[in-house]
């Protein structure tokens, strides 16, 4: 099955004298929400790389013995959400790759849209692949393009790779952190105990380790840390003007206690809720959020509308994401296993329910029914994002556009499908406004169909149909060569 795939979490640390494997374990644990399928850590002691990666949650994969087998002064780690399939185990990251300059370990968050073309090219020149991921393509590109020094390797890799890649890379001597020129996926830098350096997908991982936030890795930047300290280069020239940080990170993915581009997400989400109440007001008795991701937005909606906020749904925190169930029947049951309504709160009330997104339309009708069964007299659904009409090629993939409910139905039809009394989506303009960062800094492709890079045409047959309505500055869709092997995203 090619389902919706979640983004991954990456972490890196360079800290001589510290237990870097354990620090990485804690860092990955803080990033567990970004991927629950596999976890892995690689370390270097200056002489060789050590690696351990397996399927499962971070705390299931690692124990005292496995951590003790990862000595060194620098480490990288990865938590991954992948699709089901026989190759999943071998796709667990970090990967070890042998190249002209020796071994390297690589961990990746994002999705490279032209990986299949580059893979065919590398294979024709004799490269053998052990996994089906775009990450391995990046690793080989780097390793094989670096005949004399790493800098050449990064320049070649970044010239050729199109799409999203936040990377942490470990050689025997150094730790590298890399962000694609559009900065589609986040990556930040922290200082640990005054002498170490930390890299993480989200700032919440720095907080848990007591590391101080220094700055984000800039779009197009390669940061290198070794015993001499930190150096920064931009292999493709100065930082690109057009940044495209994923808007969905602000809406759903990142934790509310993380900062993205300097903005703490909890107040960002409260602002989204407040704007939603202005754009879609309705008379009601209560505002509730679908926990946990929409809680901040529901509080914001309630505060701005003057309608009381209440906890109306309790979430069982130990149920995995409903999304990751392999078939629709299990996914539907998942919603029921995950939420339980508080009948005493809801009974006889007109309820506004805030959620962050409707993707396939699996969760929302079940939530609405659950609330009606618990005695709600009216259920008004409010969504803190615009309708998702286009697939993401940068780390959250849909197999077909046909799976996206908003690509196939208008808002009235979706309202009928979910069984709500009313349905309101936040406008794209208000969603972007709520980030506090101004326009032109985000990737809005899943809402707008405007992709910040070329994307493979074969994945989105509808894209050309809407081409005429696209803004002039947009790069046209191009067809990538047919994939010989399905490439999976991290």
74 binds ligand AMP (CB under 6 A): no
Name the residue nearer to ligand AMP (CB basis): 360 or 441: 360
249 binds ligand AMP (CB under 6 A): no
Q: Work out how close the CB of 325 gets to ligand AMP at its nearest, in angstroms, rounded to a whole number.
A: 11
363 binds ligand AMP (CB under 6 A): yes
Q: Work out how close the CB of 236 gets to ligand AMP at its nearest, in angstroms, rounded to a whole number.
A: 30
361 binds ligand AMP (CB under 6 A): yes
Window of 146-154, 229-237, 255-263, 353-361 that interacts with ligand AMP by CB under 6 A: 353-361
- Up-side HSE of residue 196: CA atoms within 13 Å toward CB? 22
Token output for 471 = 């803004």
385 binds ligand AMP (CB under 6 A): no
357 binds ligand AMP (CB under 6 A): yes
Q: Work out how close the CB of 317 gets to ligand AMP at its nearest, in angstroms, rounded to a whole number.
A: 14
293 binds ligand AMP (CB under 6 A): yes
362 binds ligand AMP (CB under 6 A): yes
Pick from 321, 401, 417, 470: which binds ligand AMP (CB under 6 A)?
Answer: 321
297 with 270: CB under 8 angstroms?
yes
Q: Collect all residues with Cβ–Cβ distance below 8 Å to 102 and sequence separation of at least 6.
A: 171, 172
355 binds ligand AMP (CB under 6 A): yes
Name the residue nearer to ligand AMP (CB basis): 359 or 437: 359
Pick from 131, 155, 364, 448: which binds ligand AMP (CB under 6 A)?
Answer: 364
Q: Work out how close the CB of 209 gets to ligand AMP at its nearest, in angstroms, rounded to a whole number.
A: 26
Catalytic, out of 8, 188, 392, 443: 8
Pick from 250, 252, 301, 425: which binds ligand AMP (CB under 6 A)?
Answer: 252
Name the residue nearer to ligand AMP (CB basis): 291 or 452: 291
Q: Work out how close the CB of 426 gets to ligand AMP at its nearest, in angstroms, rounded to a whole number.
A: 14
Which strands make up the sheet holding 286-289, listed edge to edge? 286-289, 350-355, 378-383, 422-425
Token output for 454 = 């070329």
Window of 49-57, 357-365, 370-378, 419-427 that interacts with ligand AMP by CB under 6 A: 357-365
Pick from 162, 358, 381, 446: which binds ligand AMP (CB under 6 A)?
Answer: 358
4 binds ligand AMP (CB under 6 A): yes
Q: Work out how close the CB of 362 gets to ligand AMP at its nearest, in angstroms, rounded to a whole number.
A: 4
Window of 139-147, 340-348, 361-369, 443-451 that interacts with ligand AMP by CB under 6 A: 361-369
Q: CA 208, CA 77: separation in Å to the nearest integer? A: 16
Write each residue from 323 to 342 as x if it is in contact with ligand AMP (CB under 6 A), else as -, in one continuous string: x-------------------
396 binds ligand AMP (CB under 6 A): yes
Catalytic annotation present for 8: yes
Q: In this structure, how many other beta carbons lie within 10 angstroms of the beta carbon of residue 144?
A: 19
Q: Work out how close the CB of 114 gets to ligand AMP at its nearest, in angstroms, rounded to a whole number.
A: 23
Q: CA 133, CA 489: separation in Å to the nearest integer? A: 7
Catalytic residues: 8
Residues of this chain that bind ligand AMP (CB under 6 A) = 4, 6, 252, 290, 293, 321, 323, 355-364, 396
């Amino acid at each position: 099955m090619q389902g919706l795939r979640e983004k991954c979490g990456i972490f890196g640390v360079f800290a001589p004298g510290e237990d870097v494997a354990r620090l990485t374990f804690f860092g990955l644990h803080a990033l567990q929400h970004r991927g629950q399928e596999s976890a892995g850590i690689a370390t270097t002691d200056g002489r060789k790389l050590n690696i351990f990666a397996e399927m499962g949650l971070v705390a299931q994969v690692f124990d005292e013995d496995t951590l003790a087998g990862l000595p060194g002064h620098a480490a990288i780690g990865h938590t991954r959400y992948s699709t089901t399939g026989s190759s999943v185990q071998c796709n667990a990251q970090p990967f070890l790759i042998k190249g002209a300059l020796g071994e390297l370990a690589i961990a990746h968050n994002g999705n490279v849209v032209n990986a299949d073309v580059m893979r065919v090219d590398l294979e024709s020149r004799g490269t053998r692949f052990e996994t089906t991921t775009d990450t391995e393509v990046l690793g080989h590109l780097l390793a094989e393009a670096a005949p004399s020094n790493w800098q050449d390797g990064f320049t070649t890799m970044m010239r050729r790779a199109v799409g999203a890649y936040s990377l942490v890379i470990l050689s025997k001597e150094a730790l590298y952190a890399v962000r694609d020129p559009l900065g589609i996926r986040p990556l930040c830098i922290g200082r640990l105990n005054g002498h170490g350096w930390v890299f993480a997908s989200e700032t919440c991982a720095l907080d848990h380790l007591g590391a101080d936030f220094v700055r984000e890795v800039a779009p197009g930047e390669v940061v290198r840390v070794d015993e001499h300290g930190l150096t920064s280069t931009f292999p493709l020239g100065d930082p690109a003007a057009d940044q495209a940080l994923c808007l969905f990170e602000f809406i759903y993915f990142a934790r509310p206690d993380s900062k993205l581009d300097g903005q703490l997400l909890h107040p960002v989400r409260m602002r989204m809720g407040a704007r939603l109440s202005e754009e879609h007001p309705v008379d009601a008795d209560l505002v509730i959020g679908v926990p946990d991701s929409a809680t901040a937005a529901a509080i914001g909606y309630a505060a701005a509308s003057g309608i009381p906020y209440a906890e109306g749904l309790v979430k069982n925190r130990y149920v995995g994401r409903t999304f990751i169930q392999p078939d629709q029947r299990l996914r539907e049951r998942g919603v029921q296993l995950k939420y339980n309504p508080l009948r005493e709160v809801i009974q006889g009330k007109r309820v506004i329910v805030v959620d962050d997104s409707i993707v396939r339309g699996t969760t929302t009708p079940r939530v609405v029914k659950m609330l009606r069964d618990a005695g709600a007299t009216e259920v008004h659904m409010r969504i803190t994002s615009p309708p998702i009409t286009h697939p993401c090629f940068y780390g959250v993939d849909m197999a077909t556009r046909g799976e996206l409910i908003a690509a196939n139905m208008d808002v009235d039809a979706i309202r009928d499908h979910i069984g709500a009394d009313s349905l309101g989506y936040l406008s794209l303009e208000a969603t972007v406004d709520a980030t506090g960062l101004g326009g032109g800094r985000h990737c809005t492709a899943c809402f707008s169909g405007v992709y910040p890079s070329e994307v493979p045409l074969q994945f989105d047959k509808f894209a050309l149909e809407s081409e005429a309505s696209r803004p002039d500055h947009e790069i046209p869709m191009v067809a990538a060569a047919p994939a010989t092997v399905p490439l999976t995203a991290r």
